[in-house]
Amino acid sequence: MNRTQRLTLIGIFLGIFLAALDQTIVATALPRIVQDLGGMDKYAWVGTSYLLASTIAVPIFGRLADLVSSRMLLLWAIVIFLVGSMLSGLSGTMEQLIAFRGLQGIGGGALFAVATTTIGLLFSPRERGKFQGLFGAVFAIASVVGPWLGGLLTDHLSWHWVFYINVPVGAVAVYFIAVHMPVLRPASTHRFDLGGALTLALWTIPLLLATSWGGHEYAWTSPVILGLFAWAAAGLALFVYVETHTPEPLFDLTLFQNPVFRWASVALFFFGAAFLSAMFFLPLYLIQVKGISATMSGLTITPLTLGAIVGAIGSGQIASRWGRYKPLMIGGMSWLLVNFFAMHFLIQVDTPLWQVLALMVSMGLGLGPGMPLFTLAVQNAVPPERMGTASSATQFFRQIGSTMGIALMGAVLAASLQTQLSANLPSNLTNGKVDLGAMRDPGALERSFDTELQATLDELERALSGDEAAKAALLKNPLLPAELKQMLEGPPPPAAYREMVLAKVKEELAAQAEQLKRQVTEALNLAITEAMKQVYLYAAWLVVLGLAATFLIPDARLEGRAHFSPGD
């Protein structure tokens, strides 16, 4: 690697770090943002607008990378991202923030697409493995640093700096790319397929909205969700029609005739679903069941991420030295499958924390190779004029798989929690059904006992004073001792006797509340543990499908030279 390539990579990795960081850093600051700007009902849209924009931007800018200079495109991607960051930080309303986060998403998606393509163009097949592995490692590091940095900036400066911090780092990335990156002009010029871009959005947006809202904002069988799925299906049919009748399509569907691209895309879809399933729900178990403090919650997946970093860098290095990728892909997916089954069969409420952390590191080692190797295989199998389209497609299918996987595993988690909590919580608290919305803060249910205890005592004091409404409510309370109910059915006792009764009842109810707290904690811990085990079992079958597709990818050696020399 010469000086030009080395300095170019610094700029590329800085840009990628910013785009990856932005997917996690904002979540920590959102409660403070809502506190300042209001709009709690629009809370989820801050993330959804970024997701929609970035997902659509990936294939569009991937295609543009085949049509114009990669250096110019990468600079535009960073500028769009930085402008979106500045405007997000300056937002005065939640509506403005949502719109500017969408602009950020366009820049972030463009960065991922163009950066991946640039590595494929700038380096030979044997060299790409090393740098695609580093690409995955940068992404993993950002997922660890993001929550911590977001909390630090929000607490010590303001939430605005969650966005402003991108500007100085982005400016350095612009310098390295503008000054040191070769132009990397395309081999030939083509027209951009505007119709393909519009129809891509026509099916992608409703699909992502349906999978993001289903089971949360709306029931899966609601008219809204079913309508979005129908819209997505119709949009997809129109997209396929447009792309098959356009001389120079946005997404060349003939790429699926290439077996490497075809099966790598299928494998990445399932890998993306399994990858986020492994990471997204694990903090719930670590915080509630294993007792990791809320202040450390942003670091709960660090062991898994460290394993993924080692797996990504190590597999990339081995692929570059060995000149083969398929055995490493199969090995990584197989190891991931073993670890998912281990999480399902071994994890219990009382599993020592060190064993859970060890399993997380091991699981990360299986996740890591999937980051660089599938992209490496696809780039090795397509000509340079299709490098941008093919490389961005791998990210697009992974993103779609991740979104749908989260939706599926969220439904599995919710169903398992409902079953376990209904079975294990005291029947007088649930009546056979549990409101999962109340479980978003598991400790809130326990804390509510103190409030309920005081409310019951206040009601009892009114009832003993002759308040008929309070007396009627207490007689229906299933937690009140039978002897006390008998006393309430008689005439009000004397004032001196009333104080003694209140003191005795307070002592009995406090003991009963502590017992219920223990029962609730035990039931929650068991329910969350069993739900997590079900998530990993279902995710393991996603890995099986991804592994089956991986076996069908033709094996090929990494040979040839870079498509463009650094001097181009």
pLDDT tens readout for residues 250-273: 888 888 889 999 999 999 999 888
CA dist., res. 86 & res. 167, Å (int): 7
Q: Tell me the pLDDT tens digit for each residue of 466-488.
A: 677 777 777 776 666 666 666 66
DSSP 184: -
pLDDT for position 567:
46
Instruction: Identify the CATH class of 1-192.
Output: mainly alpha
Rounded Cα gap, residues 101 and 87, in angstroms: 9
- Digit-coded pLDDT (tens) for 411-428: 787 778 777 777 776 655
Rounded Cα distance, 109 and 107, in Å:
6
- 3-state class percentages of the chain: helix first, strand second, coil last, to nearest 5: 80, 0, 20
Q: Indicate if the alpha-carbon torsion angle 103, 104, 107, 112 is positive or negative.
A: negative
With b meaning 16 or more CB within 10 Å and e meaning fewer, what string describes 176-204?
Answer: bbeebbbebebeeeeeebebbbebbbbbb
Q: What pLDDT, on a 0 to 100 scale, did the predictor assign at position 436?
A: 46
Calpha distance 502→465 (Å, rounded): 12
With contact defined as beta carbons under 8 Å apart, do 554 and 324 qualify?
A: no
**Domain residue spans of the chain:** 1-192, 194-249, 438-523
Residue 506: other Cβ atoms inside 10 A: 15
Least confident span in 203-207, 321-325, 395-399, 500-504: 500-504
Report which listed range, 45-49, 124-128, 277-281, 522-526, is most confident: 522-526
Q: What is the pLDDT of residue 14?
A: 86
Whether the Cβ atoms of residue 112 and residue 19 lie closer than 8 Å to each other: yes
377 CB neighbour count, 10 Å cutoff: 26
Of 385, 156, 408, 142, the C-alpha closest to 272 is: 408
494 falls in which pLDDT band (50, 70, 90)? low
